Structure 1
Amino acid sequence: MAAVTPTSLQVDPTNADQARAWNGDQGAYWAAHASAFESAASGYDDAFSAATAITAGERVLDVGCGAGGTTVAAARRAGPAGDALGVDLSAPLLEVARARARAEGIGNARFLQADAQVHPFPTAGFDVVISRTGAMFFGDPVAAFTNLARAVRPGGRMVLLAWQSLDRNEWLTAPVAALAAGREIPTPPPHAPGPFAFGDPDRVRDLLGSAGWADVRCTDVQAPLRYGGDVEEAHQLVSGLMSWLLADLDDERRRQALEDLRRSLQEHLGPGGVRYRSAAWLVTARRP
């Protein structure tokens, strides 16, 4: 799968690193394991779907749509009179999304490779913006959510699912600790672009308010994050996902780190598979 560089689409400079990653090895890995990653957080699907409240005829913008599961679901709910546009930086994931929509016969789901922070969406062109763990990566979030506010009609709405702070998400802290091999792994600043950038609900409310959104609410939702049905499946997925932690280790320390990971996964194996604690914010807002 050919890599796509940031110069092949309009990307804000603050998002250039994200574009390189999601069109390089990271994007290729997620595309190859798209079903596993989508099902990992499926415990949040019902709460997210209920919050979006998509009805027939609505126009939906799905930001950071990834492999397209949320876009296809939104298009189904919008029906033939509505449509859903999924936007993502990652060409590999968008290939998966388009193939999925074709295979499922969802003709009103469309996909676009774009940086939602700067893309010129039609003004008031959508009734609702949604994003399932895809809206925390913007280099300039105020600019991004201002741009998205312009794209939504007055009275329209936005629904985001975003991870709470790192310390409340064992699905990452436990595997990283297992693969650390005695090293101290630095954590990014709490507000840096990344999975946990929306961990502070007060900051989320201030940020979205500054971007033109009103009635911002952050609701605590929790569900297990599932890495696979058994230890071997989970080990393959997680060791590939976090392979960067192994890159600088010698053979013996790498073997030990992988064994420590296997032990952690075994400790979290239950009737529902290998599952870790997780916590997210269900963020809702209205376009005045």
Structure 2
Amino acid sequence: MSQVVIGMPEVLRADPANADQARAWDGDEGAYWAAHADVFDRALRAYHDAFFDAAGIGREEAVLDIGCGTGQTTRDAARAAVAGRAVGMDLSAAMLREARRRAAVEELRNVSFEQADVQVHPMPREAFDVAISRTGTMFFADAAAAFRNIAAALRPGGRFVQLVWQEAARNEWFSAFRDAMAAGRPMPMPPPGAPGPFALADPGRIRAVLADAGFTGVVLREQSAPMWFGADARAAHRFVSGLLGWMLEGLGEEGRTAALHGLQQSLTRHEQPDGVFYGSATWLVTAVRET
């Protein structure tokens, strides 16, 4: 099968409602993820096998990877669909550049990447057998529009597999980092359903938005696994403090010192011989496009 190459547009077409997410992911946040791709991929390694088992990608299938980031899941999908193809979509130009670089290094010829806001992107209709997303679907300002667009890109009977975070209280990594970086300040949570890591934590919301988009057979499976944040506490501190540096805004020197010290203490408590680990919990969500 010949490779289908989809280019990156000069200007990202984004839903106006998604402007904040587009600025973040196609800006400093996306650049940070691109620069630390190996750490992010290693963090989620414990979920990888169950995620791909659920996807069940066949050798001749066409796969759409939503929020593909630096492309590990897209490349793995391409390896599974050895006689098919895999297309990764993301908001971040920086992450997509890294995804393309890695695919070239690995000499994968059936994979391509496109910068796109899935809420408004003109998807090819009924072009894919399966859509996947590893923690990439929680950031839509208009989840209903995004899921309708994904459904339209799938053939009737096509499969959709997502990994999304359960509620914040079930994710030790989030509560521990948030408490440390707050340095005693109140840190309000975003409203339920607002774009962010826990936007799809409510099983009822997932089922409703998928059903409205034209999916049936929605199944949620609880998954829990330790997340890895670095080889040791020092390395993890560099990574996490860079990732969450925005949480230091508004703090004076004393507050910043206290926050970073609290983070170091937390990371040290979670250090094990093979790295720094925190508990996490996700939903593995499977659904089928209506026939």
Q: Which of 207, 210, 226 is 2:209 aligned to? A: 207
Residues 1:95 and 1:7: Cα distance change in structure 2 (over 3 Å): closer
Q: Which of 232, 254, 257 is 1:255 aligned to? A: 257
Q: Does 1:62 align with 2:79?
A: no
Which residue identity does 1:39 align to in structure 2? R
The residue that corresponds to 1:3 in the other structure is: none
Q: Which of 240, 260, 276 is 1:274 aligned to? A: 276
Q: Does 1:19 align with 2:33?
A: no
Q: SS of the counterpart of 1:223?
A: strand
Map Cα deviations across residues 119-152 of structure 1 (whole Å, 9 max, x no partner): 1111100000000000111111111111110100
Q: Which of 27, 46, 50 is 1:47 aligned to? A: 50
Q: Give, in whole Å, the separation in 2 of the partners of 1:187 and 1:176.
A: 10
Q: Give, in whole Å, the separation in 2 of the partners of 1:143 and 1:179.
A: 34
TM-score, normalised by the number of residues in structure 1: 0.96
Extract structure 1 runs of 4+ deviating beyond 3 A.
none
Q: Which residues in structure 2 correspond to 1:131-142 (within 5 Å)?
A: 131-142=133-144
Map Cα deviations across residues 62-99 of structure 1 (whole Å, 9 max, x no partner): 000000000000000000x2000000000000000000
Which residue identity does 1:54 align to in structure 2? I
Q: Give, in whole Å, the separation in 1 of the partners of 2:286 and 2:47.
A: 15
The residue that corresponds to 1:235 in the other structure is: 237
How far did 1:25 drift?
Answer: 1.1
How far did 1:170 drift?
Answer: 1.0
The residue that corresponds to 2:96 in the other structure is: 94
How far did 1:55 drift?
Answer: 1.0
How far did 1:253 drift?
Answer: 1.7
Map Cα deviations across residues 7-45 of structure 1 (whole Å, 9 max, x no partner): 922111111111111111111111111111111111100
The residue that corresponds to 2:38 in the other structure is: 35
Q: Give, in whole Å, the separation in 1 of the partners of 2:175 and 2:256.
A: 18
The residue that corresponds to 2:159 in the other structure is: 157
Which residue identity does 1:174 align to in structure 2? A
Q: Does 1:186 align with 2:196?
A: no
How far did 1:176 drift?
Answer: 1.1
How far did 1:272 drift?
Answer: 3.2
Q: Give, in whole Å, the separation in 2 of the partners of 1:150 and 1:173.
A: 37
Q: Between 108-117 and 243-252, report the one with greater CA deviation.
A: 243-252
Q: Which of 13, 38, 43 is 1:10 aligned to? A: 13
Q: SS of the counterpart of 1:85?
A: strand
The residue that corresponds to 1:124 in the other structure is: 126
How far did 1:190 drift?
Answer: 2.0
Q: Give, in whole Å, the separation in 2 of the partners of 1:7 and 1:127.
A: 28
Which residue identity does 1:247 align to in structure 2? E
Q: Does 1:107 align with 2:109?
A: yes
TM-score, normalised by the number of residues in structure 2: 0.95
Q: SS of the counterpart of 1:228?
A: coil
Q: Give, in whole Å, the separation in 2 of the partners of 1:285 and 1:271.
A: 39
Give the CA RMSD over aligned residues: 1.2
Q: Between 157-166 and 252-261, report the one with greater CA deviation.
A: 252-261
Paired residues, number:
282
Gaps of 5+ in 1: 1-5
Q: Which of 219, 227, 237 is 1:225 aligned to? A: 227
Which residue identity does 1:30 align to in structure 2? W
Gaps of 5+ in 2: 1-8
